[in-house]
Structure formats: structure tokens, C-alpha cells
Amino acid sequence: MKNEIVTFDRDPNNYKHWEQLIEGSRATIFLDVAENEGIRPGYELKLNSYDLGVDIELNDLIQRIRFEQPQVKVVVITSKQEKNFSAGANIYMLGMSEHSWKVNFCKFTNETRNGFEDSSNSGSLKFIAAVNGICAGGGYEVALACDEILLVDDRSSTVSLPEVPLLGVLPGTGGLTRLTDKRKVRKDIADIFCTNADGVRGKKALDWNLVDYIAPPSKFNSLIDERVSFLESKVKLRNGSSGITLNNIKRTITDKNINYETISCILNKNSRVAEIKIHGPEENEIIAINELVEKGSEYWVLKFVRELDDLILMLRANELETGVITIHSEGSSTVIQKLTNLLEENKDNWLVNEIIGFMRRTFSRLDISSRTIFTIVDNKSCFAGFLSELLFCADRTYMINNALLNENKSGPFISLSKLNFKSLEMVNGQTRLQTRFNNDDIKLSKLHDLCDKKLNAEEAFNHELITVIPDDLDWNDEIRLSIEERVSFSPDALTGLEANLRFPGKESCETKIFGRLSAWQNWIFNRPNASSDEGALKLFGTGSKAKFDNKRV
């Protein structure tokens, strides 16, 4: 049976698994998973365990708090179920899912948790995990992504990462990396913790730095109040008087297209290529900063980012055989540049900060997608300002060179902006230009001097911003042959190639999670010790013991 299309937009009136309470500067969100409402049939979501559907709601909920509740400074994540915070990712869902589903699930949950940290680091929301019961596996990984972890000291509530002893897999959404890199847990202590299925409670959890604070049940609410008050004083850019409503995304889907208002995508399923075209804004989108709230989610920049984010997720989940994404644009570079300058000049405005943060996370989602990306600059393109980031997300860029033509001899153009040098960093903590040029400060300084200047193909090529600049006679053949060659290669080899080449040099907690950890987890998911009929993941809950292939390889 063919699976239904997975979508990633949600109506908050129809959440099945989360509730929220807004009290001034605090939002408390309660996990209360509906057992029989899995995103796919065949398993029950017991013990507040989650699947992709639960996490899609969480992502939507946090996004709405960012934009719709600008007075909120601290988000408290807790459980509505007595003695049970979360058992983590649903094991039966993982055991019955195909490899691609498990991988996409882990990647999306990683990105959602990284989004907590991105908001916290950018002057936006702070997060507290108020652990009021058993907190295992992915449940603890949600907590690890928060600024602080508070644990009720009731002799039964524990934190644990039991994947190795129980399931023969790893904590798949950053648990290992955040223990050592973020919480600075000593590696031998982390080793004991991650091989103990029973978990750690109370004072030992505090002593091992697995949590930040503990309190008995009678004082737990007071502890939450105290830490909310402290963290909200650290928030810089949550001071809006009124928010904006995130209207429903307008999207149409056919077998050959996924179309939005600012983006269209042609699905060439025979050639395994998705052709994305960005339809640039009109002059009337250049508005004053004091008009942004009134414009709301209809503001072109925000609408574009929401639609691009949705499209990336739709392609990942539903178009598994699409191997190459080509990105085109059409419109006025001048308008894009003016919109970019508005964002740059008003970065301390709460709404602009949230738009830039959303853009940063969306472009990062593209960076870590396992698809080849070719960006194509033709005569109608508008790759300027923040859209020029899509030149540097790409594995290759092609720009038509009309130097020998009488018609459009001087164009097309690309241009840089200050945003390309700060605020749109990748998951490695560096801008795409820093990553591209291996932090060559002399080179970057010269490029910074080019901000707002129009660069034609030869100039862009000479500044090493473009990969190939075919002339108009070779243009169509060059693009066609490059794409045909690319889709002929092994998809697995390309995934490995691109993941290595996109993140040279400096590592971060996030690159370790998406690179090192994810690569190991993907391999483990394919190994018989986890995923065969006699593997630990398949046999969980049956009472049978897994049979391991004991060769260490």
C-alpha cells in the first residue's frame, strides 16, 4: 500500500499531542501524547512516546510562539501525564519503519531540537525542561536541547539514554554529543550513563551534571518559577507589543508539481530532478519597518521562507528518489537587495530577528538535506542579498556568461550583502562564505567590500563565487550534461560526498550530530544487530533476547 503524502503544516486548533498555557512572559507546553493517533498505523504511542507526527506539532507550536506571542521569553516543556515525562521515540514505530523513514524522522527531530538552541543563542526564546517523571531516550534528548533541565526529586523520576543496552542503537537526536560537548559530562561517566538502562535519579543526576537543578515535589513549581524569572532576564529580543498570525500556507500538490505563492517546483520523476523556481517580490513589498507587523505572514520575505522550509521537508519525506535539486529565481535583484537591507538595518527588531532566525534555520535545513543542489543563474535571475545564500548552499553554481552577446551583454548579476557575512550561519557556526573560503580573512574582507555591488558572470567567477560560467552557446548542454552525470552516480556515495564537502574545517555540536552521529546511526539502523528479525530493535517488547553478530567491524 502506498503511504499517504506527509505534510508538515499544522492547525493549532487540531493538535493531538500538545497543549499550551500562556502566562505573560512564560509559555508552558504540556506533552500528552494520544496513544492511538500515530502518524502511521500499526503502533500505539504509550508512555508519552513520540513519532514524527508528535514532533511536527512541536515544531509548529514553537514556531507559532516565536511569531504570534512576542511577549513570551521562556518556554517550559513538561508533561501532563503523571510520573511520566516522555519515554522518547516510539520503539515499535522505529522497528516497523523502513530505513528512509527512520533517517528522515531522526533528522527532523534533530532540527527541531537544534531550533531551541538557535533561538536561545539569537536573543529569542529560552527553554526549560521541567522533568516531572520518567525521562528516557528521546525524551531526555528534548531536555538536553533546553537551556536548563529541572528534575523533580521524588525517588522515581529518572533521566536515561537506554538505547545501547535495550535497543542496540544510539541516542539518535544528539544525546551523546550534547552530554559531552554541551553539558561537559566526563566521558567515563557518560559511558556508564549510556549503558545503564535503569536511568539516574535525584542527587546523582545533579552530581553527574545530567540535570541543572532538583527539588522535591512540594517545591518543584517554585523552582520552575525561580528559573523562569532568571532566564527571562537574559532574553534580549522578545519585546513586541503584538504578534502576527501565521496564516495557512497556500500549497497545491500534483504528481508533477508542488506550488506555492513565491515558489514553484517541477518534479521530473523520470530524470529524478526537482526544479525549484523562486518568484521574486514586486516593488510594493519594500515597506517600512513599522508596517511589518500589519503585513504579518503575508510579508514576502516571511512567506518565502515558510514556503521554502515546507518544500524542503515535502521533498525529503515524499520524493525519496529525487536526487538533484536545481534552484532558479526570477525577479528584480534590486528589490531583493532593498528587502535584505531592511532586515540588516533592523536586526534588533523582535520580528526581524525571528524572520532572520527562521531563514537561518531553513537554509541550514537545505545544507543538511541529502540531495545534490545545483543553483542556476540565468538571464532572469535575482540572486542578490539573502537569496545569494542559495549560491553558497549549492554543491555547484552555474551562471550564464553573456559577455559575447549584444543583448544582455552585461548581465545577469549577483550581489552580496552584509547578511551574507553575519546572521545566516550554517550549523557549523560559520557563514557559508567563511566555510567556502576556509576562514581566509583577507579574501573575506575583499568580498565584504563588494556588498551591494552588481557582479556579472566573469566578475563573480573571478571572485570565486561561481563554479562554472558557460557562454550562451554551451549553456543548455552544460546544465543538461551535468545533471545527467550526477543522477547516474550512486545516491549513497553522493550523500557521503556532499556531507563531507559541505562542512570543511571547524566542527560544532550540530555538525557532529548531523555528520558523525547520524552517519553511525544510519549504519547501525541497517545492521542485523538492530534491524534484522532477530535484532534488538525488532524484538523489543517481545520478551525474546536479541541474537547479535559479535564481529566488531
* Count of CB atoms situated within 10 Å of the CB of 198: 10
Assigned domain for 520 exists: no
Assigned domain for 426 exists: yes
Residue 73, pLDDT > 90, answer yes
- Residue for grid cell 536515561: 160
Q: Dig out the grid coordinates for 209 from the structure.
A: 551534571
Longest dimension (CA), the chain: 80
Same domain, 130 and 275: no
- Among 501, 525, 541, which residue terminates a domain? 501
Same domain, 487 and 428: yes
Assigned domain for 238 exists: no
Span 459-470, average pLDDT: 97
Tell me the CATH number at 371. 3.90.226.10
Same domain, 294 and 398: yes
* Among the listed residues 143, 151, 213, the one whose alpha carbon sits nearest the alpha carbon of residue 182: 143
CA distances, 322 to each of 105, 106, 315 (Å) = 18, 20, 8
Same domain, 177 and 258: no
Assigned domain for 135 exists: yes
Assigned domain for 509 exists: no
Same domain, 396 and 427: yes
- Among 501, 520, 536, which residue terminates a domain? 501
Same domain, 293 and 350: yes
Span 300-308, average pLDDT: 98
β-pairing, 133-136 vs 372-377, is: unpaired
Instruction: Tell me the whole-structure pTM to 2 decimals.
Output: 0.96
- Residue for grid cell 514556503: 307
Give yes or no for a contact between 36 and 20, defined as CB atoms under 8 angstroms apart: no
Assigned domain for 6 exists: no
Same domain, 66 and 107: yes
Same domain, 214 and 305: no
Domain interval for residue 64: 12-232
Same domain, 217 and 275: no
pLDDT at residue 552, rounded to an integer = 87
Rounded CA-CA distance 38/60 in Å is 17
Same domain, 415 and 494: yes
CB-count burial class (<10 Å; 0-12, 13-18, 19+) for 169 = buried
Assigned domain for 137 exists: yes
β-pairing, 74-79 vs 126-131, is: parallel
Average pLDDT of the chain to the nearest whole number? 95
Residue 443, pLDDT > 90, answer yes
The CA dihedral of 323, 482, 305, 232, to the nearest 10 degrees, is: 80
Same domain, 447 and 347: yes
Assigned domain for 340 exists: yes
- Among 501, 533, 548, which residue terminates a domain? 501
Same domain, 271 and 124: no
User: Which residues in 161-220 belong to E strands, given as ranges?
Assistant: 200-201, 213-215
Least confident piece of the model among 71-80, 169-178, 221-230: 169-178
What's the domain count of the chain? 2
Span 359-377, average pLDDT: 97
